[in-house]
Amino acid sequence: MSYLFTSESVSEGHPDKIADQISDALIDNFLAFDSESKVACETLVTTGQVILAGEVKSKTYLDVQQIARDVIRKIGYTKSEYMFEANSCGILSAIHEQSQDINQGVDRTTKEEQGAGDQGMMFGYATNETENYMPLALDLSHALLIELANLRRENAEITYLRPDAKSQVTLEYSDDNKPQRIDAIVISTQHDDFDEEATMLAKIKSDLVSILIPRIKAKYPQYAHLFNDQITYHINPTGKFVIGGPHGDTGLTGRKIIVDTYGGKGAHGGGAFSGKDPSKVDRSAAYATRHIAKNLVAAGIADEILVQVSYAIGVAKPTSINVVTYGTSKVNLTDGEISKKVESIFDMRPYFIEQRLKLRNPIYSETAAYGHMGRKPETVTKIFRTPNGDEKTVTVELFTWEKLDFVDKVKAEFGL
């Protein structure tokens, strides 16, 4: 019997995502001027206020207030009527030095023996139901909001959009776990005030169905066949959505971990990503397990794969590595035997993850909205500045964990 599965996404203007983007902008600036920086930075946003807190060990000094304002401005909070605006919001920094007790467990005389920055388990997932090896419902949820943000910035076809938004996509799957059609789409978007609420609701629903959806179908032709006349649309189902962003809801770093990963598919170890330098395995090992899972699926090991790794704080070698193929394996090996081969291909000690995926670079701002996984690897040039006038231009690779650079090694190891 067929079944339904749902995933959601949130826009860059969602309060929790504002917090994530500020935290990751701080990470990038610290790493740009001191690649060995140790940072754990949390952000809280609410009406007219930003609070920064966390622990830092770094040789560089930053104007954290200016960095936060630049992020808020880029997102689009530039009008006083939003009750949260880049130039006027208050910013309080309570960032202090990293605990020496933690630092002594991470730093080692030999870099290769760098210990894990915390205990815990991390998961990576991949499926061949999409071209980027991501769960389809989440991929579509992200796509809807990316295109909605494009429409907002263009300010041409739709002129009343504000930065805060959420989406949700429900898919119908067949008995053999193949997506058949879109059953429902939910979009809640912040908007300017209208004179009449009934007119407003009709206008927003009409615009999103007649403008946004065709753009999605054109931009992602591989998904066009999933759209149909029977889709149930819930557009701003509560009605008016003028009060939004941090004025409508307080935002915190790390509160959208399922949006950031696989939309409820696979599993999650519970650790957030944003605001953490790569010595924190919550982040680096989650990227590494995604890299493994994607390369395994792309190599034809299985249709769907979940990889788990776990660590003890201060210890380099993982306490476990496990691969689950959900019965979709294409090789004549048990999941345990596949796990052993994976262990021989991918060195999961924290230093080697950092080196393999080039994680000590300022690459994290781009991860902080629309998901950390399934994104396109690319090389970009960035410019960073310090309060004393230092400027640094760096060229970095983004989303290195999405590269299919281990497919040949996997095939060789498995005899494919």
With a CB cutoff of 8 Å and minimum separation 6, the contacts of 27 are 39, 41, 274, 275, 276, 277, 362, 364
| Domain contains 255 | no
Considering the domain architecture, whether residues 347 and 398 belong to the same structural domain is answered as yes
Q: What DSSP designation does 319 have?
A: S
Total tally of structural domains belonging to the chain: 3
pLDDT of 126: 98
| Domain contains 25 | yes
Q: Which residues are annotated as a binding site for Mg(2+)?
A: 16
DSSP 268-313: --S---TTB-TTSHHHHHHHHHHHHHHHHHHTTSBSEEEEEEEE-B
pLDDT of 106: 64
Mean pLDDT of the chain: 95
Overall size of the chain counted in residues: 416
Q: How far apart are CA 206 and CA 281, in angstroms?
A: 45
User: Phi/psi of residue 168, each to 5°?
Assistant: -155, 135
pLDDT of 105: 53
Q: What DSSP designation does 47 have?
A: T
pLDDT of 100: 64
CATH number of the domain encompassing residue 54: 3.30.300.10
Structural domain ending residue among the three candidates 244, 270, 299? 244
Considering the domain architecture, whether residues 98 and 151 belong to the same structural domain is answered as no
Considering the domain architecture, whether residues 216 and 268 belong to the same structural domain is answered as no
Q: How far apart are CA 150 and CA 12, in angstroms?
A: 11
Burial class (CB in 10 A: 0-12, 13-18, 19+), 387: exposed
Report the chain's terminal Cα–Cα distance, integer Å: 34
Q: How far apart are CA 205 and CA 215, in angstroms?
A: 15
Considering the domain architecture, whether residues 222 and 266 belong to the same structural domain is answered as no
Question: What's at 99, amino acid-wise?
Answer: S
Residue with tokens 């998961």: 123
| Domain contains 108 | no
pLDDT of 58: 93
Rg of the chain over all Cα atoms, to the nearest angstrom = 22
pLDDT of 173: 97
Q: How far apart are CA 311 and CA 314, in angstroms?
A: 9
Range of the domain at 163: 3-10+136-244
| Domain contains 110 | no
**Nearest CA to 32 among 65, 55, 8, 59?**
59
| Domain contains 219 | yes
Model confidence pTM above 0.85: yes
Considering the domain architecture, whether residues 340 and 276 belong to the same structural domain is answered as yes
**Nearest CA to 284 among 142, 52, 114, 153?**
114
Considering the domain architecture, whether residues 234 and 264 belong to the same structural domain is answered as no
Considering the domain architecture, whether residues 25 and 91 belong to the same structural domain is answered as yes
Residue with tokens 């007790």: 101
**Residue 361 Cα distances to 28, 351, 396, angstroms:** 7, 14, 7
Considering the domain architecture, whether residues 410 and 276 belong to the same structural domain is answered as yes
Q: Which residues are annotated as a binding site for K(+)?
A: 42
| Domain contains 111 | no
Q: Which residues are annotated as a binding site?
A: 14, 16, 42, 55, 98, 164-166, 240-241, 249, 255-256, 272, 276, 280
| Domain contains 253 | no
Burial class (CB in 10 A: 0-12, 13-18, 19+), 182: buried
Q: Which residues are annotated as a binding site for L-methionine?
A: 55, 98, 249, 280
Q: Which residues are annotated as a binding site for ATP?
A: 14, 164-166, 240-241, 249, 255-256, 272, 276
Structural domain ending residue among the three candidates 195, 215, 244? 244
Q: How far apart are CA 210 and CA 292, in angstroms?
A: 40
pLDDT of 101: 54
Q: How far apart are CA 372 and CA 394, in angstroms?
A: 21
Give the pLDDT confidence of 350-368 residue by residue, as tens digits: 999 999 999 999 999 999 9
Instruction: Please report, in tens digits, the pLDDT of each residue of the chain (416 residues total).
Output: 899 999 999 999 999 999 999 999 999 999 999 999 999 999 999 999 999 999 999 999 899 999 999 999 999 999 999 999 999 999 999 999 866 655 555 665 677 778 888 899 999 999 999 999 999 999 999 999 999 999 999 999 999 999 999 999 999 999 999 999 999 999 999 999 988 888 889 999 999 999 999 999 999 999 999 999 999 999 999 989 999 999 999 999 999 999 999 999 999 999 999 999 999 999 999 999 999 999 999 999 999 999 999 999 999 999 999 999 999 999 999 999 999 999 999 999 999 999 999 999 999 999 999 999 999 999 999 999 988 888 999 999 999 999 999 999 999 999 98
pLDDT of 73: 98
Instruction: Output the six-digit token pair for 412.
Output: 């060789």
The DSSP bridge pattern shows strands 49-57 and 90-97 to be parallel
Give the pLDDT confidence of 216-261 residue by residue, as tens digits: 999 999 999 999 999 999 999 998 999 999 999 999 999 999 999 9
